[in-house]
Amino acid sequence: MRRYLYIACAAIVTAFAAEAATPPDAIKYRQAAMSALSGHAAAFSLIFSGKVEHQKYLLAHAEAIAAISEHVVDMFPAGSDTGKTTALPLIWQDAEGFRKAADTTRVAAAGFRDAVKSGDKAAIGKAMKPLFDGCKGCHDRYRKED
Ligand code: HEC
């Protein structure tokens, strides 16, 4: 057990020591983070619509969405535009517009988290639309159709 722990720690230390992420890893990272956004949104909806009982986890999903939405721009470093990605070159050509799209979503996600914290169902329902409009708005403009 100890040995595995050591190996895991060594891997983490090596990861921290690495310089910048290579483009394939940068792409994998953002795809994983984006999938996490969807996963949390799906989990949230199942609870919010009453299909499952896990009320006490509602806020955890909203907080995760808000936290991940904080650093969307950083997930698209220069040079990560080619490879197994559906990111469009426009992200780097129109960096200002992309930043705005990310920022709008970041603010919407924070508002959503705060609404969930308040526990007010109507406020939560109202806060969901700008959040999902944010995801969709960015995807429509900056992501290739699958
Ligand atoms: C500012 C732009 C932007 C915002 C905001 C954004 N996305 Fe994305 N998303 C992208 C781009 C660009 C890709 C393509 C990434 C790639 O393939 O390298 C992507 C990919 C994805 C993917 C596919 C991941 C994969 O495995 O290929 C999912 C799922 C996703 N986003 C969900 C979301 C959800 C849910 C939200 C909102 C809570 C969101 N995204 C917000 C730009 C954005």
Give the residue, by CA position, lying nearest to ligand 1 atom 24: 31
80 lines ligand 1 (CB under 6 A): no
Which segments within the chain are labelled E, that is strand? none
The SS3 call for residue 143 is: strand
Residue 60 neighbours by CB distance under 10 Å? 14
Angle at the Cα of 71 (from 66 to 74), degrees rounded to 5? 165
Q: What is the mean pLDDT of residues 21-38?
A: 95
Q: How far is ligand 1, taken at its centre, from the CA of residue 17, in Å? A: 28
pLDDT at 3 over 60: no
pLDDT at 60 over 90: yes
pLDDT tens per residue, range 119-132: 999 999 999 999 99
Q: How far is ligand 1, taken at its centre, from the CA of residue 120, in Å? A: 28
- Minimum mean pLDDT range among 2-6, 80-84, 120-124: 2-6
Give the residue, by CA position, lying nearest to ligand 1 atom 37: 135
112 lines ligand 1 (CB under 6 A): no
Give the residue, by CA position, lying nearest to ligand 1 atom 29: 35
pLDDT at 19 over 90: no
Q: How far is ligand 1, taken at its centre, from the CA of residue 32, in Å? A: 9
Domains of the chain with CATH codes: 21-142 (1.20.120.10)
pLDDT score at 67: 98
